Amino acid sequence: MSWHFVIPPAFAEEVAALPDRVLGQDYPYWLGGRFNWVAQSYLVLRQYREGLTLGMAPEPDRINFAHCMGWRAMGARRGEFRISVRADYPRLFDVDFEILQNPAVPLGPRQAYLPYWPVPGVIPRDPSRQGLKVLAYAGRIGPLNLADDLKGGPTGLPRGLEFRIIPPHLWHDLSQIDALIAIRTFDGAPHDAKPPSKLFSAWRAGIPLIAGGDSAFSAVGTPGHDYLRVRTREEFTDALQRLHDDPDFYARIADNGHARADEVSHEAFARDWIAVFDDRIAPRFEAWKQDRLKGLYALAARGADRGRDTASGLKSRLRSLSRRPT
């Protein structure tokens, strides 16, 4: 099957270097989803399939795969078949198939769940470490990434517990970390647009994750068994205290998660990706090539995208006006 992976020209330098990169050694995973979704897919899947290509523009008569914001930057398609990763963004209609990153979200006939690739080269917790001494966050700092009252460091930590925000280029090194947090808000919101990536990192590192109410976490994990879910500041404090004070509880949560590490490896995810490409996308691509009405469908899809953008702009304008002093 003819797969072509498309990365925006803004990453031209990295695209040129990518074919020689090695995951877990010199691959710059911290560049963000617009690059990483496509780049890791190319690097991993080329180990299992021949004929994969990489470029900065789509090609005709190929299965073109890109991040949705990459497609938006390129504008309306010109007769090519497009696969889009929605990631954290609004749905893009002017595509032929869409990949979602949260298994809890209901799927349509032209959609599939595929996991966001794990951080490559994760270094597990040093087995000589004892107890909960270092709590960390390994992710971007921005809206709905980390709860506002945790960005400056949690208050009321158990005595002797240190909190760190790990810089992006070190997200893979969890050797000196005893637990991770992934709490976007303390209101129990499901954050359905978000993936379970931090849970994958914790499992592979052999450490507990304390997470918020994200539906993606509970879709792949079991709260209280292989990670901890908290919905309030008080529950967060209680979870930390128990992990700190109860070594058996700490070990049980960490071990249950680590037992699932093989399920969230690049190899396991590659099997999922190939199955979706072969069983769902390839037949649709063959049907698309014979469909004489595909131009009309694309025109209608572009209209839906324009309508979505117009509605979004109006909402932003109304919010801005509502904030003005009277």
Question: What pLDDT tens digit does each residue of the chain (326 aa) get?
Answer: 589 999 989 899 999 999 998 888 888 888 888 999 999 999 999 999 999 999 999 999 999 999 999 999 888 777 899 999 999 999 998 899 999 999 999 999 999 999 999 999 999 999 999 999 999 999 999 888 999 989 888 887 888 899 999 999 999 999 999 999 999 999 999 999 999 999 999 999 999 999 999 999 999 999 999 999 999 999 999 999 999 999 999 999 999 999 999 999 999 999 999 999 999 999 999 999 887 555 545 555 555 555 554 554 555 455 555 555 55
The pLDDT score that the predictor gives to residue 26 is 85
Structure tokens at 267: 């190899």
Structure tokens at 273: 């990706």
Structure tokens at 67: 């991040």
Calpha distance 151→200 (Å, rounded): 22
**Tens of pLDDT along 271-303?**
999 999 999 999 999 999 887 555 545 555 555
Helical H runs in 174-230?
Answer: 197-205, 215-220
Q: What topology does CATH give the domain 134-263? A: Rossmann fold (3.40.50)
The pLDDT score that the predictor gives to residue 154 is 82
Strand ranges across the sheet with 162-165: 162-165, 134-137, 179-182, 209-211, 228-229
Structure tokens at 5: 């992976």
Cα dihedral 193→197→200→204 (10° resolution): 180
The pLDDT score that the predictor gives to residue 174 is 98
Structure tokens at 139: 């992710």
Calpha distance 306→78 (Å, rounded): 17
Calpha distance 193→91 (Å, rounded): 11
The pLDDT score that the predictor gives to residue 219 is 98
Structure tokens at 180: 């991770």
Domain boundaries, the chain: 3-118+265-321, 134-263
Q: Where are the beta strands (DSSP E) in the chain?
A: 3-6, 53-55, 63-67, 81-85, 97-100, 111-113, 134-137, 162-165, 179-182, 209-211, 228-229
The pLDDT score that the predictor gives to residue 122 is 96
Helix (H) / strand (E) containing 69: helix 68-74
The pLDDT score that the predictor gives to residue 45 is 96
Helices vs strands, H then E, count in the chain: 10, 11
pTM of this structure: 0.87
Name 240's Cβ contacts closer than 8 Å, sequence gap at least 6. 132, 135, 154, 157, 158, 161, 179, 210
